[in-house]
Amino acid sequence: MRTDLRAYAIVDPEVSGGHDLVELCRKLVAGGVTLVQLRDKLTDTRPMIERARAIKAALGRVPLLINDRVDVALAIGAAGVHIGWDDMAPADARRLLGPDAIIGLTINSPQRADVTDLDLIQYAGIGGVYGTTSKQTKNSPIGIAGMARVIEALHRRRPGFLTCGIAGINAKNAAPVIDAGADGVSVISALSLVPDPEAAARELLAAVDAALAKRGAGRKTS
């Protein structure tokens, strides 16, 4: 099954906008998100597992990934994990999770794209594209041009390899991310720190789908 990155929501108890995460996820699913990641850096393991299990139930058919915590993903039968460059190695995550799990990896440079074993992961989250306040990071945004270079490096090795832009993305600035070659966008603040997450998700998906359609039409006529 192809991983659908078009409207990829990240939910985090530290960036929830006052929303209960389980209820937030229900609203995001109603708005059309295609993939959800739980990112939780503070909660102890047992309550995190309980929350993740409740979120998984709320998502229905929408896959749930766990940020970094392979143990939590295993405990609840999540669809997979998203890992950062300095987290568990993709080979170890794949060994633990098995061949059918979704594993995503954050990549922020062509050099890292060149040394990644693409057989071990389903997609690359590329960025940060724009500035973001939802996560403390020591790296400056790589911008649209930087993201395009990473995608180019990945596609040289494997044409069509799935990618999504991450950081600072919303419905108004998603189109350039897709125009640069990404298959979707990974979003947190624009879906969580809003009064109506369902409407925000619907607007985001519409923006991404419109950009994908435009890109597809351009390829057909070129």
User: How far is it, in rounded angstroms, from Cα 26 to Cα 68?
Assistant: 23
pLDDT exceeds 50 at position 105: yes
Mean pLDDT within 48-60: 98
**What angle is formed at CA 178 by the lines to CA 218 and CA 2, rounded to 5 degrees?**
95
Residue 87, CA distances (Å) to 60, 69, 91 in order:
28, 9, 11
Q: How far apart are the first and last CA of the chain?
A: 29
What count of other Cβ atoms lies within 10 Å of the Cβ of residue 197? 25
Helix then strand then coil, in percent of the chain rounded to 5, is 45, 15, 40
The sign of the torsion formed by the CA atoms of 2, 5, 191, 68 equals positive
Which domains are present in the chain?
A: 7-221 (3.20.20.70)
Mean pLDDT within 86-93: 96
pLDDT of residue 67: 98
Buried b (16+ CB within 10 A) or exposed e, 61-96: ebbbbbbbbbebbbbbebbbbbbeeebbebeebbee
Confidence of residue 2 (pLDDT cuts 50, 70, 90): confident
With pLDDT > 90 as the criterion, what percentage of the chain qualifies?
91
pLDDT of residue 133: 62
User: How far is it, in rounded angstroms, from Cα 153 to Cα 148?
Assistant: 9
In sequence order, which ranges of 32-107 are alpha helices (DSSP H)? 45-59, 70-76, 90-97
Tell me: cis bond preceding 128? Omega within 30 of 0 counts.
yes
User: How far is it, in rounded angstroms, from Cα 30 to Cα 191?
Assistant: 12
Mean pLDDT of the chain: 94
Confidence of residue 1 (pLDDT cuts 50, 70, 90): low
Task: Record the pTM.
Answer: 0.94
What tens digit of pLDDT does each residue of 121-174 get? 999 999 999 987 655 556 789 999 999 999 999 999 999 999 999 999 999 999
